[in-house]
């Protein structure tokens, strides 16, 4: 008998009864009724019937090395870990309108031009619309095969007959499997169609890209509910109003996670940005208080980014703490360390922190750069010119060592910087044209760089 359960469209958690708020992920109004999806224990046991004996092998068995197929779009290949692995399933998630369809049409065209048979299936646009976009992107000559279809059964039959190597499903939320009794975009449909498509891809040796819209309202299921099914999860992100777009691997069974690819949205589609540091710093104005250059690492690549802070007297009883591109909890921690360990208070002041260019940073190595930006803004005192900053701050106020200091310093030197402020414990030493100021404590940093602290 089909059992009714309640499922959260944002995270996929099951609940026994309907509630306004999902206890698992905290989202509101995302729980919907799902028919025929039982979460209870299976009614029937396996019984006495014998199964087939599974062949076991040793860890040292030799397999052929992974053969990867490259698209030639280097920023895309890098995020996959050096190209596409045959028979893999990739999820590309992102906000509506961020450029997923544009990117994947360009990728499909790049593969097709290299002789990889590619099919682009859209459930959102008519083929004439896709052709129009291709024309605008200058891709009309690429031998990509198109279809506008949402019926999964028909799609699988077509793929079975065509035998492509690369398929794009845009988007998974529009796909519809006729054996599941709920609307397209619901958790059960998204799960079932993603499962069928990935299983089919593995069986037939096809690489499939599933596009998933990130949804805030919870009316349709977000890409989170299928993250565990696929080999690679990539998010395409960026600020609206900014032309930079960052492709970020958050899970990759065939390569490093956290790798990023950087693109710029132009009138003729997405252009690759091969030297992101130069791009993120290109818009930097003259040295100003509150602006600090952080020497970061994104995946395997060093990237310099500008961190901006603004500190102003607040008219509010509870001053603002506003963060774009960084973790707000981490900002609170840095403010608390500044206050408790260094005696620098931010009470009664609004604090704004922004990572320039629509970039998002998650490295703790940015702590010192954030503290430097906050101090510089509070003191209205710019940092010495041509300086990069990195280092993790512990709760005691000590500056902790961070990884890959050499790569960070090399990138800074390459881009014309001549000073660095870093934790004591890094091995690199100053040279004739690059001075490294090594410090062991946040308090020392403040005294050395800013001198007297304003009340």
Binding partner of 96, given ligand TYD, Mg ion, none, CB within 5-8 angstroms per partner class: ligand TYD
Binding partner of 136, given ligand TYD, Mg ion, none, CB within 5-8 angstroms per partner class: ligand TYD
Sites of contact with ligand TYD (CB under 6 A): 94, 96-102, 133, 136-137, 265, 267-269
Measured from the CB atom, the residue of 264 and 386 that comes closer to ligand TYD is 264
Is residue 49 helix, strand or coil? coil
User: Do you know the residue count of the chain?
Assistant: 455
**In the beta sheet, which residues pair with residue 7?**
14, 32
| Residue keyed to tokens 């970039």 | 359
Largest CA distance in the chain: 81
Measured from the CB atom, the residue of 103 and 323 that comes closer to Mg ion is 103
For residues 256 and 124, the answer to whether their CB atoms sit within 8 Å is no
Measured from the CB atom, the residue of 9 and 106 that comes closer to ligand TYD is 106
Which positions from 201 to 240 touch Mg ion by CB under 5 A, shown as an x/- string?
A: ----------------------------------------
Within 95-124, the residues that bind Mg ion by CB under 5 A are 101
As a whole number of Å, the end-to-end CA separation of the chain is 71
Measured from the CB atom, the residue of 98 and 446 that comes closer to ligand TYD is 98
Binding partner of 455, given ligand TYD, Mg ion, none, CB within 5-8 angstroms per partner class: none
Tell me the residue number closest to Mg ion, measured at CB. Answer: 101
- CA proximity to 379, closest of 333, 420, 345: 345
Binding partner of 106, given Mg ion, ligand TYD, none, CB within 5-8 angstroms per partner class: none
Which own/partner contact pairs does 65-70 have at CB distance under 8 Å and 24+ positions apart?
66/254, 69/111, 69/114, 69/116, 69/165, 69/166, 69/207, 70/114
- CA proximity to 324, closest of 289, 277, 356: 356
C-beta of 56: minimal distance to Mg ion in Å?
A: 44
Measured from the CB atom, the residue of 40 and 267 that comes closer to ligand TYD is 267
Measured from the CB atom, the residue of 180 and 273 that comes closer to ligand TYD is 273
Binding partner of 99, given Mg ion, ligand TYD, none, CB within 5-8 angstroms per partner class: ligand TYD
C-beta of 447: minimal distance to Mg ion in Å?
A: 53
Q: Is 354 in the site for Mg ion (CB under 5 A)?
A: no
For residues 219 and 96, the answer to whether their CB atoms sit within 8 Å is no
Measured from the CB atom, the residue of 98 and 292 that comes closer to ligand TYD is 98
Is residue 200 helix, strand or coil? helix
Distances (CA, A) of 255 to 66, 327, 339: 11, 26, 41
Backbone angles phi, psi at 33, to 5 degrees: -80, 135
DSSP 135-157: HHTT-TTS--EEEE--BHHHHHH
C-beta of 265: minimal distance to ligand TYD in Å?
A: 5
C-beta of 119: minimal distance to ligand TYD in Å?
A: 17
Q: Give me the sign of the Cα torsion angle 213, 216, 220, 224.
A: positive
Backbone angles phi, psi at 278, to 5 degrees: -60, -40
Pairwise CA distance, residues 16 & 380, whole Å:
56
C-beta of 124: minimal distance to ligand TYD in Å?
A: 8
Measured from the CB atom, the residue of 215 and 379 that comes closer to ligand TYD is 215
DSSP 369-422: HHHHHHHHHHHT-PPPTTEEE--EE-TTSBEEP-S-HHHHHHHHHHTT--EEEE
- CA proximity to 215, closest of 190, 195, 232, 198: 190
Measured from the CB atom, the residue of 214 and 250 that comes closer to ligand TYD is 214
C-beta of 407: minimal distance to ligand TYD in Å?
A: 32
C-beta of 259: minimal distance to ligand TYD in Å?
A: 20
Binding partner of 51, given Mg ion, ligand TYD, none, CB within 5-8 angstroms per partner class: none
C-beta of 170: minimal distance to Mg ion in Å?
A: 6
Binding partner of 49, given ligand TYD, Mg ion, none, CB within 5-8 angstroms per partner class: none
């Amino acid at each position: 008998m089909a059992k009714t359960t309640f499922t959260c469209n944002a995270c996929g958690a099951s609940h026994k009864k309907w509630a306004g708020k999902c206890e698992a992920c905290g989202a509101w109004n995302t729980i919907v009724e799902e028919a025929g999806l039982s979460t209870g224990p299976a009614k029937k046991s396996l019984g006495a019937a014998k199964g087939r004996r599974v062949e076991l092998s040793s860890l040292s068995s030799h397999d052929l090395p992974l053969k990867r197929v490259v698209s030639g779009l280097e920023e895309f290949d890098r995020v996959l870990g050096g190209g596409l692995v045959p028979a893999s399933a990739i999820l590309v998630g992102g906000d509506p309108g961020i450029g997923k369809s544009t990117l994947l049409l360009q990728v499909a065209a790049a593969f097709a031009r290299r002789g990889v048979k590619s099919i682009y299936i859209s459930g959102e646009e008519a083929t004439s619309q896709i052709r129009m976009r291709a024309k605008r992107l200058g891709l009309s000559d690429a031998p990509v095969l198109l279809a506008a279809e949402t019926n999964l059964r028909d799609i699988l039959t077509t793929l079975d007959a065509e035998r492509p190597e690369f398929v794009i499903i845009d988007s998974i939320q529009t796909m519809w499997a006729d054996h599941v009794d709920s609307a397209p975009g619901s958790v059960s449909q998204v799960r079932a169609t993603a499962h069928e498509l990935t299983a089919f891809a593995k069986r037939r040796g096809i690489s499939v890209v599933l596009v998933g819209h990130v949804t805030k309202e919870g009316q349709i299921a977000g890409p989170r509910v299928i993250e565990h099914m696929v080999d690679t999860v990539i998010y395409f992100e960026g600020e609206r109003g900014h032309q930079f777009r960052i492709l970020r691997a958050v899970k990759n069974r065939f390569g490093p996670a956290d790798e990023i690819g950087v693109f710029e949205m132009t009138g003729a589609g997405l252009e690759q940005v091969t030297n992101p540091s130069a791009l993120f710093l290109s818009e930097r104005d003259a040295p100003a208080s509150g602006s600090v250059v952080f020497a970061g690492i994104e995946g395997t690549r060093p990237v310099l980014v500008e961190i901006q802070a603004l500190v102003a007297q607040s008219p509010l009883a509870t001053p603002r703490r506003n963060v774009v591109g960084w973790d707000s909890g981490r900002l609170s921690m840095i403010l608390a360390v500044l206050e408790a360990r260094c005696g620098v208070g931010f009470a009664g002041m609004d604090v704004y922190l922004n990572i320039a260019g629509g970039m998002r940073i998650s490295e703790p190595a940015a702590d010192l750069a954030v503290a430097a930006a906050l101090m510089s803004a509070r003191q209205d005192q710019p940092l010495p010119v041509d300086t990069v900053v990195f280092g993790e701050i512990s709760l005691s106020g000590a500056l902790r060592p961070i990884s890959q200091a050499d790569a960070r310093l090399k990138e800074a030197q390459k881009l014309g910087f001549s000073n660095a402020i870093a934790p004591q414990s890094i091995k690199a030493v100053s040279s004739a044209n690059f001075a490294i100021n090594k410090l062991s404590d946040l308090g020392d940093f403040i005294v050395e760089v800013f001198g007297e602290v304003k009340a």
